Amino acid sequence: MFGVTERANKFLNIYSVYGQTLIIQSDMCHAIFPPLGLIAVVQKIIQDILDIFNDILDTIENITADTVEWAQNIDFSPLITSFENVTSALKPLTADIFDGIEWFWDNILLPMASWTISTLIPTFLNLLAAAIKVLDSAISALKPMGKWLWDKFFEAYCNMDRRYYSRRVERYYISLKWG
């Protein structure tokens, strides 16, 4: 009726595969644990696990059967009628809600989008262009100072540094060559 039987059969098939796996594991335990004398303990653990699964499956089977029997004795027509009343009441409400959404779209969002596209974004882009021009003017004004800083300080420092390290590497080479 509810597909419960098919699901239970699939679960039982999975359970039987799991049981076969446990039997294989039990056989492996015979091979691994005989020297330790743990075969009986491992068999008891596996049997306890199988008993637990049997209890779970019996409970599921009983619950399923009870639910099927219970559902056959219930009159669902009041529930269906009540649900129909709810959907009938929702219909005008949803119409009002969607009319409000349409009004909001037409009277708020579309005019705001028009203002954003025609006024706000162009104003922002003009502001950005002005800021870029100011930055470019500042860079152009500072170019001579940057060139002087490079020519008088950084370039001389870099050349001095290169000469120092070149001489040092050359000394290491000579000491290793004659060393």
- Cβ–Cβ contacts within 10 Å for residue 22, how many? 16
Q: Looking at the chain, how many residues does it have?
A: 179
Q: What is the pLDDT of residue 1?
A: 46
Give the model's pLDDT for residue 13. Answer: 64
Q: How confident is the chain (179 residues) per 10-residue block, as mean pLDDT? A: 58 61 59 62 86 91 90 88 94 95 96 96 96 94 84 71 73 75
pLDDT at 3 (0 to 100): 57
Angle at 73 between CA 70 and CA 77, to 5 degrees: 115
What per-residue confidence (pLDDT) applies to 45? 87
Contacts of 77 (CB under 8 A, 6+ apart): none
- The answer, as to whether pTM is greater than 0.75, is no
